[in-house]
Structure 1
Amino acid sequence: MVEKMNEEVVDTKALQVGDIVTAVVTKVEDKQVLVNAGFKSDGVIPISELANVHIEKASDVVQEGQTLELKVIKLEDDDLVLSKRAVDAEKAWESLQAKFQSGETFDVTVRDIVNGGLVVDLGVRGFIPASLVETHFVEDFTDYKGTTLAVKIVELEREKNRVILSHKAVVEENLELKKKDAINSLKAGEVLEGTVQRLTDFGAFVNVGGVDGLVHISQIAHERVEKPSDVLKEGQQVKVKVLSVDPATQRISLSIKAAQPGPWETVAGKVKAGDVLDGTVKRLVAFGAFVEVLPGVEGLVHVSQISNRHVKNPSEVLTVGQHVQVKVLEVNVKDKRISLSMKDGSGEAEEATKEDYSKYQSTSESSTFQLGDIIGEQLKKLRK
């Protein structure tokens, strides 16, 4: 027994500050841990040497019977003071350097909430600034304590014991991957349900399958839209048609108009020859006036059908925006033509030619047109 004790004394005296020893936890108290390192007296780990972050009690970190690698930080007489956090830190820096260089994503547990962010234990103290926790603003971080977050290292300075982590970077990376997958899954021509995310002067951004696409103002409705906010609101569910997808620029062009029945598709059930309708003068041309009788549907009142008296030029008696009453003379849904008359019905109608309509229709899918090139030809006809 004496020989064994002498061997233990010799072993203890052979230790030096900085040595690494292996010990078993024999007792866990609130503010310290006792360990058996095989020496004459037990070693002590103060609570401040258990972890690189603040802990309330020793049992939060270790349990009885656990085997630990410890560093000798004080050795005087029979006092053997050891540190777990010093060993953890040495191991941690090598691992953290590798993670930082590779850009690896790894999980951490939030140990504490402090002013300005979250604290985690990595073997060294890691910090997630408030601005790098989420992609959105978080007012209260209380619920984050004890949760596990996926993070990346964004700053690493061993000399300053500085480890800055970001959960936001991982979230953004995942969102970008989902966005690419969503874009690659979209096909031009398909019709989808979407949600209006944001309105601008030039159109609306609609989310389809987790990615935003632009509906240009000209693609919102068949009729003319002055401002997107006049007909749409954020959060509104809409049906859209995919016009084009560019994976390289991640741009998606959508159309609400193309996903809806065209105005002419409903004409057959709403307008027939003989009907008297209220309309609005949309355009004046040399050979007549185009009058909107349904949203996006215009018919032609030939100059000969404007009045019972002779009218040389439509502008003599009509103005753009004027509300008028017209009688339907003919409906041709296939060619998208409606012939109208403002006369009282006496006299035989001189209908507009199919050529007049085709030139008018070719200028715009939505009946928004420029007829300068037609006017000259019609003037020539009238002079003959």
Structure 2
Amino acid sequence: MAKVAVLGAGSWGTALSIVLADNQHEVRLWTHRTEQAKKINQTRRNDQYLDAVIPEAITAYSDLKQAIAGVTAVVFVVPTKAIREVARQVDPLISPETTIIHASKGIEPVTLKRVSQMIGEELTAFKEEEIVVLSGPSHAEEVALRQPTTVTVSSVDPDRARLTQDLFINESFRVYTSPDVLGIELGGALKNIIALGAGISDGLGYGDNAKAALMTRGLAEIARLGTSLGANPLSFLGLPGVGDLIVTCTSVHSRNWRAGNLLGKGNKLEDVLEQMGMVVEGVRTVKAAYQFAKEQQVEMPITEGIYQVLFEGKQPKDVVGQLMSRNKRQEMDDLAQLLMERYSQ
């Protein structure tokens, strides 16, 4: 039995805590809100974020030092905008032997850093290569119900990846490993952009044809940017790529889909975010991906169109027209071509 601190008591942090508790680990679920911690411990519920019973093996803390004391692993599940601040608070409290895992999906605007890079910069005793990423098609609501779920953990350090796999894997939560940290993180982050687009499409009243096209061409954009940065194109065909893309673009559980759906129905971004009541990572990621595409000189027309809707006030229907009237081109110039180029050498 291990002692594990899960930092972030939102829906996903709570769901991962339940997985760990089911595996007989002692779990410390940290929140910066004292009242939330008290309520979880008293009622065994976290109803604001997740409709599930909290197992007795989980204890909520609002004191970070107490939550981390003596643990063998720390799992970051806070929003990407809070990663650096929380990591700085964690830094003096942990030893180099601790396994550091993150399950947050996003890219930092301006710096264009991935979450593992942000954590690696803030934790003085750890290098980016020692951090483990957990990602994949995994709605918290279904994980908490012990419905079959598969994810991938990735680290340059195979021992840390296997240790993380052992921590989480059970009959309802299957865990694979991968060495492609870059591809795993980018797939998990960038699919949120396409999920916003899928929600916008549904909000506009378009059907399955439009959504299928958006998801397929969106995957091509993700792979195009990811491989330009050095990721393995095969990663985007796996669980944190196409798997996560499918689940996030097609489910009402998806915050990004719900936010996009409201935008497609004519709501303003500020009103949508206020109505959601939870972080919509895709909005922040759009800014970063748009900047990435410009710097890498990678064509990402869907991402650019969603950026125009979110931040330049362009109407969603006008963006659809813009996408549909682009110059003619072949389809085989994207993911398949990237695979052919990589594996024909």
Q: Do the structures match in fold with TM over 0.5?
A: no
State the structure with more CA Rg: 1
* Higher relative contact order (Cα pairs below 8 Å, separated by 6+ residues): 2
Q: If the length of structure 2 is used for normalisation, what is the TM-score?
A: 0.20
Q: If the length of structure 1 is used for normalisation, what is the TM-score?
A: 0.18
Going by fraction, where is helix more abundant, 1 or 2? 2
